[in-house]
Amino acid sequence: MKIALVSPYDFAHPGGVGRHISSLYGHFVRLGHDVRVIAPTSRPVGDFGDQFIKIGRPFPIPASDSIIRVSLSLHLAPTIKEVLAREKFDVVHLHEPFMPMLCSAVLRFSDTINVGTFHAASGKPGYNFGKPISSWMLHRRARKLHGHIAVSKAAEAYAKSYVPTDYNIIPNGIDLKHFRPEVAEMEQFKDGKLNIVFMGRLEPRKGLNYLLKAFYLVKKEMPNTRLIVCGPGTRLRKRYENWVKDNRLQDVVFTGMVSFEDQPRYYRTADVFCAPNTGHESFGLILLEAMATGRPVVGTNIEGFTYVVNQGSDGLLVPPMDSHALAQSLLVLLNDKKKREEMGKNAILTAQKYDWEQVSQRVLSFYQTTTEKVRRQRLEAGK
């Protein structure tokens, strides 16, 4: 099968959709399929060789307390038509299919089987950017989408509010060969202190400001603790570092961006992994990655996280934007090694349900059933 995996986002910038597509690509290729990744990019992408097709130049746009990087060009049509005519895909799989401009334009010109995966839980501008024109465009494009996937119930509910139809829920996956309990911890942090690890972009909706305040409370109760902050970001990092300095808070380490190779090692270094996100998360991928390494998690009870965490079994969830509740849950686990170990074992079992080997097979099966459905419909229409 010849498959196009299309992302609207800058493929050189770290993000969940890009990782999702990269994982699908790897598994599909290993199964013998001919796959291309199509996306805008701000710099060369070296992992795919000639199988990566750059279309468009991304620009940053504020959205949902975050920044999305998409192409805004109105002149992508000639390139898209040329690529589609040359490659002759059996399936075009668009991630956030109505996001401007690339995915929406590919959907417009594609005359093969079109499948869309909806990742967002709220706030993405593809649905309501530039009203009323965007609403008219969305309904025209929606007719060309033959199969609909949502990564969670939260993503399904959000997508259904704009495009009411049937959705197949296929979650994000975890590479269990990469994220596993046997990886080595980061040696520089093996000094007897209990480590809390945060992993994510330094932007408001990731909630690091609430974790810093919570750690301030934790540190008063348990001086032998450390907070390790992993993730890219410059503007907010300076603000967070100033807050730490002004409050004379010790043992807060900012690592900057962590390579994909080292991410499991940082998860494994955690005695507790913490995700204090404030909202707008359709899926708790970051939690599952930590859980796959055998670590208990403390997160917020936003819908995307409740989808993957079993409260009290493999993690603890607290109300978002509540530093006191966050601190209390962290202290519960930091003070109880036996509980941490028990939750860590349960976390591994939970993460195994999201193995990419299984998830990629479910996506391929969905391609097949969607293709058969469209062929049947076309035959009936021909009669």
Residue pair 333/339 in contact by the 8 Å Cβ criterion? yes
Question: Rounded to whole angstroms, how far apart are CA atoms 33 and 142?
Answer: 27
Residues 309, 241, single domain; the answer is: yes
Same domain? For 145 and 292 the reply is: no
The predicted model gives 355-364 an average pLDDT of: 96
- For 281-300, the DSSP string reads -S--HHHHHHHHTT--EEEE
Evaluate whether residue 294 is within a structural domain.
yes
Number of structural domains found in the chain? 2
Please report the pLDDT score of residue 33 as a whole number.
Answer: 98
Pick from 208-217, 249-258, 372-381: least confident = 372-381
pLDDT value of position 308: 95
**At residue 133, does pLDDT exceed 50?**
no
pLDDT by residue (tens digit) across 111-131?
999 999 999 887 554 555 544
Question: Is residue 333 a part of any domain in this protein?
Answer: yes
88 Rama sector, left if φ>0, alpha if ψ -120 to 50, beta otherwise = left
The average pLDDT across 67-72 equals: 85
Q: Read off the CATH number of the domain in which 6 is found.
A: 3.40.50.2000
Lowest mean pLDDT: which of 35-44, 45-54, 332-341, 345-354?
45-54
Mean pLDDT rounded to a whole number for the chain: 92
Do 108 and 200 lie in one domain? The reply is no
The 10s digit of each residue's pLDDT in 58-69 is: 988 877 667 788
What average pLDDT does this structure show over 326-347? Answer: 98
Q: Identify the H or E element spanning 340.
A: helix 337-352
**How many C-alpha atoms does 348 have within 13 Å on its Cβ side?**
14
Shared domain for 222 and 168, answered yes or no, is no
Question: Are residues 271 and 299 part of one domain?
Answer: yes
Residues 18 and 76 in one domain: yes
Residue 181 covered by a domain: no
Least confidently predicted of 23-37, 133-147, 313-327, 358-372: 133-147
pLDDT at 124: 53
Find the domain containing 167 and state its range.
2-173+355-382
- Is 191 found in the same domain as 147? no
pLDDT value at position 136?
53
| pLDDT score for 130 | 44
In this structure, are 123 and 240 located in the same domain? Answer: no
